[in-house]
Amino acid sequence: MTLSGRRVLATGAKWLAEKGRGAQRRALPNMSAWRIPMLVPTLEGRTSEYLLECVETNFVSSIGPFVARFEDGLASLLGAPDALACASGTAALHLALVATGVGPGDEVMVSDLTFIASANAALYCGASVTLVDSEPATWNLDPELVIGELERRHRGNLPQPSAIVAVHLLGHPPDLANLLEAARAHGVPVIEDAAEALGAAWVQGPLDGVAAGAAGSLGCFSFNGNKLLTTGGGGALVAADRAVLDRARHLSTQARLSGIGSEHDEIGFNYRMSNLAAAVGLAQLERIETFLMKKRGIAARYDEALAGLDRVSLPPSAPWARRSAWLYTVLLDGRETRDRVLAALYNNGIESRPLWPPLHRQVPYKDAVRIGGAVADNLSDRALSLPSSVTLSPAEQDEVITVVRNAVSSR
Ligand SMILES: *Cc1c(COP(=O)(O)O)cnc(C)c1O
């Protein structure tokens, strides 16, 4: 029996009605209706102290010391010259494209398999989107497809895209070394959507030691509530070229000129991060090594427990990359098994989700030009994300593992 998405949701809703509300819910500090939620933040550390400092000093808006401290901390974590804190990851992506010069009529290549924000930013600029299929090894955009296309256009004297947005899906870096070289040769800037990959890095080859987000022309991060580091809502941008980041900074504050006159020299955005959000971000940043250690520990434990199970394949972990392990996602042997495991988890009060449909299956992108085949479709039909919160206890993880094991072997 194949469960439709609606049916699975109905199963989840039934569980919520019966058990999720009431006593269980009140007992949970994370306020989630799920007994074991998929991704919840932890605000351990100095969060309250820093927030109180904002209140007491009256610095709550985008002017205030925490914004600069958070930006400095991020830049040094990433080995980048500077960082720009933004209102969201989506704002960071939009600024990155505008600062790159992407405008109406331009073309941006984006991974087909990603969260929709990666591509929406191009449409905000009036550009069109060309979707690139995944490669099976990392689930990220296939570098060979992109390189082949750049070369084909070069030979045919056809226009090149104005930018390539390379996503680090689920915290695993794409195989970028050759792609960066080809893109540079053809004059195409590469923007990394590292929203899910703070703390990930390349550990071999030409990019050895480079942090995710710091290899291309610009790198974007998200600090939404479910990301590795949260500011409630927020994002950041880093750039190889300081002048490009300065321009993004200018655009993020309505392109307002310095000085006391309220003068603006172009059309900007209100995309700055508030001091309140940055205070939370700084407290989170002080815990980042612990968060990463916990995430990688959770991933290693799932890997060990699920390896060798019939019908289950583990998520990518290339030898040349160190994943952030933001969200642990397995592949089942097909949609039917995936939906069966999902329903079993729901029935046990355990939150899990399928991966997004590829963008070409989302309404705004159904007519987009595509490069490649059906790898993204296949991954999306089989993938299931499992609870991966930093606060997930070994006992809770064992429970998830037991439910997954029983569900895949039941027939
Ligand atoms: C979360 C996310 C974004 C958007 O970040 P927001 O802070 O939610 O705007 C963009 N791209 C990817 C891949 C993401 O996971």
Atom of ligand 1 nearest to the CA of 169: 13
Q: Ligand 1 mean position to 355 CA, how many Å?
A: 14
Residues with CB under 6 A from ligand 1: 88-90, 114-115, 117-118, 167, 193, 195-196, 222, 224, 235
Pocket test for ligand 1, best of 115, 172, 192, 269 (most atoms within 8 A of CB): 115
pLDDT of residue 15: 45
Local structure of 64: helix, strand or coil: coil
Atom of ligand 1 nearest to the CA of 93: 10
Residue nearest to atom 7 of ligand 1 (CA): 89
CA–CA distance, 328 with 312 (Å, rounded to integer): 13
CB-based contact 147:185 (threshold 8 Å): no
356 pLDDT above the threshold of 60: yes
Torsion 303-7-115-76 (CA) sign? negative
Q: Whole-prediction pTM value?
A: 0.92
Over residues 372-407, the pLDDT tens digits come to 999 999 999 999 999 999 999 999 999 999 999 999
175 pLDDT above the threshold of 90: yes
Pocket test for ligand 1, best of 193, 198, 273, 326 (most atoms within 8 A of CB): 193
For every residue of 40-61, DSSP letters joined together read -----SSHHHHHHHHHHHT--S
Band of residue 238 on the pLDDT scale cut at 50, 70, 90: very high
Over residues 295-338, the pLDDT tens digits come to 999 999 999 999 989 999 999 999 999 999 999 999 999 999 99
pLDDT of residue 62: 76
CA–CA distance, 73 with 229 (Å, rounded to integer): 13
Residue 362's contacts (CB-CB under 8 Å, 6 or more residues apart) are 116, 356
Pocket test for ligand 1, best of 97, 129, 140, 222 (most atoms within 8 A of CB): 222
